[in-house]
Amino acid sequence: MKQLYNSALLYLVLGLTSGVVYREITRWMEYEGATRLSLLHVHLLVLGVIVFLIALILEKQFQLSQTKWFKLFFWHYHAGLFVTVALMVYIGVQQVQTGGDYVVPGMVAGISGLGHMILAAGFGFLFAALNNRLKAENK
């Protein structure tokens, strides 16, 4: 359970920090257009903090960590969120530097899509762990 709490706390710090960084970078660069950096704050808070807090509640209630699926969820989800967030930062910084004229190359979009697929796999493993524990309780 401590892993889940620490993960939620990590994403809370990153999410709040990203909001400040976004505001300061765009102010410093005198940029007022749309950028992926503006979405980073919410992504980190929802996909990081909220998901890990929900997983913590589910762990407390159903002991998800007793399944083989839990570790797969935990590490896939972190990896997918890292890739997704890293590409959001990269694209957002490029947008600010180019004044909003940055066209996302196919390779960057593909890697971002890969991050989303890894996140989806993590969600799948979370549901597999929950399903496993629900079946075990019904026996």
Higher local confidence (pLDDT), 126 or 138: 126
What 3-state class would DSSP assign to 112?
helix
DSSP summary character for residue 99: T
**Predicted TM-score of the model (pTM):** 0.92
Task: Convert the pLDDT of each residue in 57-93 to its tens digit.
Answer: 999 999 999 999 999 999 999 999 999 999 999 999 9
Tokens linked to 65: 């960590």
Count of the separate structural domains present in the chain: 1
pLDDT value of residue 139? 74
Helix boundaries (H) for the chain: 2-28, 37-43, 51-62, 68-97, 106-137
Q: Which structural domain range is residue 55 located in?
A: 2-137
Residue 3 has pLDDT above 80, yes or no: yes
At 122, give phi and psi (nearest 5°).
Answer: -60, -45
pLDDT in tens, 4-49: 999 999 999 999 999 999 999 999 998 888 899 999 999 999 999 9
pLDDT (0 to 100) of residue 78: 98
Mean pLDDT (whole number) for 116-124: 98
